[in-house]
Amino acid sequence: MSAIAWTAAGSLAAWLWLLLCQGFFWRTDVRLPRRTQPEQWPSVCVVVPARDEAAVLPASLPSLLAQDYPGRAEIFLIDDGSSDGTG
């Protein structure tokens, strides 16, 4: 058997194991309990890496700031050595 055939057989075996032995592993509603409103929303930290993004940030940052999240949310803009004045 060639290496391609072994690779294909291995991939098929892996997918069959996932589908047959891990039944519905892709359905998160089966494993996660549904809650309508948590007692306390977790804090969220949004990290925006920006390198040479000066033209895009005026449109993207206001949309992040306008998000309606009931818990505490912080947004960090990280300038990693831009040359176009992103910082």
Q: Report how far residue 87's alpha carbon sits from residue 13's, in angstroms, rounded to the nearest whole number.
A: 50
How confident is the model at residue 41, as a pLDDT?
Answer: 83
Which structural domain range is residue 5 located in? 1-34
Q: Are residues 21 and 62 in the same domain?
A: no
Domain count, the chain: 2
Strand partners, 76: 47
- pLDDT values of the chain reduced to their tens digit, one per residue, 87 residues: 799 999 999 999 998 888 787 766 676 665 556 666 777 888 999 998 888 888 888 888 899 889 888 889 999 988 877 778 776
Do 60 and 18 lie in a common domain?
A: no
Same domain, 19 and 61: no
Residue 35 pLDDT: 66
Rounded to whole angstroms, how far apart are CA atoms 67 and 69?
6
> pTM here?
0.51
Q: Are residues 73 and 48 in the same domain?
A: yes
